[in-house]
Amino acid sequence: MGKRKKRNGEILTPIEIASSGAEGQCIARTDGKVVFVEKAVPGDVATLRIIQDRSGWMKATIVELLEKSADRVDTFCQHFPVCGGCKWQQMGYAAQLRYKNQQVRDALKHIGKVEVEEWLPIAAAAETKHYRNKLEFTFSNKGYLEIFDKGNPDHLSVQALGYHAPGRFDKVFDVDSCYLMPTLANDIRNGLRDLCIENAISFFDLKEQTGMMRNLLLRCNRKGEWLVVTVFAKDEPETISLVMDWMKESFPQIVSLHFVVNEKRNDTLHGLETVCVNGEPYLTEVLGNRTFRIQPKSFFQTNTEQAEKLYSITKEFAGLTGTELLYDLYSGTGTIGLFLADKCRKVVGIEYLQDAVDDAFENAKLNGISHASFFAGDMAKVLDEAFVQTHGKPDVVITDPPRAGMHPDVLARLLQMEADKIVYVSCNPATQARDLHLLSEKYDVLKVQPVDMFPHTHHVESVALLGRRG
Ligand SMILES: C[S@@+](CC[C@H](N)C(=O)[O-])C[C@H]1O[C@@H](n2cnc3c(N)ncnc32)[C@H](O)[C@@H]1O
């Protein structure tokens, strides 16, 4: 058989964008093949250029938009589409919700092969902008715009403070205005960039590993208080003081001001000392009737309003009566277990990170909860037979794993523990569906409710209630 001729560069016209598939990709079909189309909206009719041709699928870009989808709206951000953040902003919010809902349904049907007894409508976000409570920005002495503005050197942005360009660890584009956090984030970031330029403080070179300014981390709570961490590449007290004094004087909203010196090659703050120079070393946030302490490195759901909704749905699904032993798997800083603690006899949480477990104990203390314990380690290892013997077989399990879902050993343990109910909170419908398929050996899926934590992205959270048969 001869070699198949690749169709790269070929023009397809007119093609209708049929739907949105996994990972938010838009899908068209031609000659029996799926075509993934960038920057499209389902319902668009367009002329496409094939950029990648594989045996089972193709990738294409829009050359000309012939007919706009009824779901298309004007984009609101000047950094679209260079930024990988709010990629779905050219689609109306109602349509985004429709496709997120569909994503969860398709995953449970095609990957999970499970019947769902009751579907609850997706919990929409009341605020579709300024909804995040945390962002991280990177300094770079080689701005990304040069790639887009090759023919227009006036627009070169050499010193950038912004986000990594999608898929480019070494390229950062300069952010002037971002809609993800409350607008003070823009003032802090832009003010800091200007201060550094005015005082000739060098921006980090990601390849050469030279320069002074590395990262900026911002967190805020619903009261309008801010925690700010500036990451420097070197321990230069004069520069550090200049930046810290400026922050302190310019932004009274910063109630927790920190810096870190990071001399490593990578940007993670793991293992580095965070120095608090002003205010408390943490922010506090209230969810339901619980108060949580958030330190610079703590994990905390990034959309506070929707996290409260997510936890309320989880609580409702768990249907606790006050007598239950509750396991909170992948417990992070203990937020879900503590949110539910007033309705059960005992909470047992397991979480990989020791720092998060320490925070969970602090959070329990802060809320006067003495019937919750948390254990650190890899779930597949910690949740063994001896652990279950020591702490007891749970009546209800809450599980909230990372995107990769649960390890097969953890799934096997869940089947062995035979809790009456499992509430599976997931940020990845595909791995949730895979895990539900395995759990269907003993469990029925009673209810599912998708939750939109991240408007203008394809990401969707899904809460599933499983009931044990028999
Ligand atoms: C999606 S977060 C959920 C956190 C928490 N339930 C919340 O709502 O804030 C997943 C958590 O699982 C933890 N994790 C990831 N892999 C793990 C593992 N192998 N064993 C235990 N915990 C793990 C992460 O550190 C993270 O805190």
CATH classification at residue 41: 2.40.50.140
Distance CA 156, CA 174 (A): 10
Q: Using CA positions, which residue lies closest to atom 23 of ligand 1? A: 352
Residue nearest atom 11 in ligand 1 by C-alpha distance: 330
Does residue 293 fall inside a structural domain? no
Is position 18 within any domain?
yes
Please report the pLDDT score of residue 1 as a whole number: 52
Q: Which of the residues 26, 77, 83, 427 is marked catalytic?
A: 427
Query: Ligand 1 centroid vs 455 CA: distance in angstroms?
Result: 22
**Residue 217 DSSP symbol:** E
Ligand 1, from 306, 312, 313, 352: best to mutate by most atoms within 8 Å of Cβ? 352
Ligand 1: centre distance to CA 457 (Å): 22
Residues 427 and 461 in one domain: yes
Residues near 62 by beta carbon (within 8 Å), at least 6 away in sequence: 37, 38, 39, 40, 44, 46, 47, 48
DSSP bridge pairs for 291 = 286
CATH number at residue 199: 2.40.50.1070
Judged against a pLDDT cut of 60, whether residue 337 lies above it is answered with: yes
- Over residues 21-43, the pLDDT tens digits come to 777 789 999 988 899 998 899 99
pLDDT at 148: 53
Are 76 and 88 spatial neighbours (Cβ–Cβ below 8 Å)? no
213-220 vs 226-232, strand pairing mode: antiparallel
Alpha-carbon span 395 to 126, nearest angstrom:
34
**Among 148-152, 258-262, 407-411, which stretch is predicted with the lowest mean pLDDT?**
148-152
Which atom of ligand 1 sits closest to the CA of residue 300? 9
Residue 167 pLDDT grade (very low, low, confident, very high; cuts 50, 70, 90): confident
Both 250 and 279 in one domain: the answer is yes
From the CA of 297, how far away is ligand 1's center (Å)? 14
Is the bond leading into 14 cis (omega within 30 degrees of zero)? yes
Residues 270, 360 within the same domain: no
The per-residue pLDDT for 190 is 98
d(CA 456, CA 95): 10
β-partners of residue 53 are 58
- For residues 35 and 19, what is the distance between their CA atoms, to the nearest angstrom? 11
State the number of CA atoms in the 13 A half-sphere of 346 facing the CB.
Answer: 9
Task: Identify whether 86 is a catalytic site residue.
Answer: no
pLDDT band at residue 155 using 50, 70 and 90 as cut-offs: very low
Q: Which of 145-149, 260-264, 408-412 is predicted least confidently? A: 145-149
Give the position of tokens 């985004």. Answer: 96
Q: What percent of the chain has pLDDT over 70?
A: 97
Closest CA to 290 of 300, 278, 281: 300
Q: Tell whether 78 is covered by a domain.
A: no
> Which residues line ligand 1 at a C-beta cut-off of 6 Å?
299, 301, 330-332, 335-336, 351-353, 356, 378-379, 400-402, 427
Q: Are 205 and 318 within one domain?
A: no
Domain co-membership, 253 together with 336: no
* Ligand 1, atom 17, residue with closest C-alpha: 352
For residue 252, how far is its CA from the centre of ligand 1 (angstroms)? 33
Which residue lies with its CA nearest to atom 26 of ligand 1? 332
Phi, psi of 340 (to 5 degrees): -100, -5
Mutate to test the pocket of ligand 1, among 351, 378, 397 (most ligand atoms within 8 A of CB): 351
* Spatial CA neighbour of 345 closest among 375, 374, 370: 370
Q: Other CB atoms closer than 10 Å to residue 389's CB: what's the count?
A: 9
Given a cut of 70, is residue 157 above it in pLDDT? no
Q: What are residue 396's DSSP bridge partners?
A: 326, 421
The arithmetic mean of pLDDT across residues 120-130, rounded, is 98
Q: Give the span between the Cα atoms of 15 and 44, in whole angstroms.
A: 8
pLDDT in tens, 416-449: 999 999 999 999 999 999 999 999 999 999 999 9
Q: Cα separation of 426 and 451, whole Å? A: 10
Whether residue 62 is found in the same domain as residue 114:
no
Are 281 and 349 part of one and the same domain?
Answer: no
The DSSP secondary-structure symbol of 29 reads: E
Of 259, 287, 315, the position where a domain reaches its end is 287
Q: Is the dihedral of CA 299, 458, 71, 45 positive or negative?
A: positive
Q: Is 328 in the same domain as 238?
A: no
348 and 415 belong to one structural domain: yes
As a whole number, mean pLDDT of residues 278-286 equals 95
Are 243 and 311 within one domain?
no
Domain span at residue 34? 11-67
Quick check: 17 pLDDT over 70? yes
Q: Whose CA is nearest to atom 19 of ligand 1?
A: 378
Euclidean distance between CA atoms 393 and 413, whole angstroms: 11
Are 356 and 419 in a shared domain? yes
Q: What is the pLDDT of residue 206?
A: 84
| Span from the CA of 360 to the centroid of ligand 1 (angstroms) | 12
Q: Give per-residue pLDDT as tens, 178-193.
A: 999 999 999 999 999 9
Cα–Cα distance for residue pair 399/418, rounded to 1 Å: 14
**pLDDT confidence of residue 154:** 47
Is there a single domain that holds both residue 123 and residue 139? no
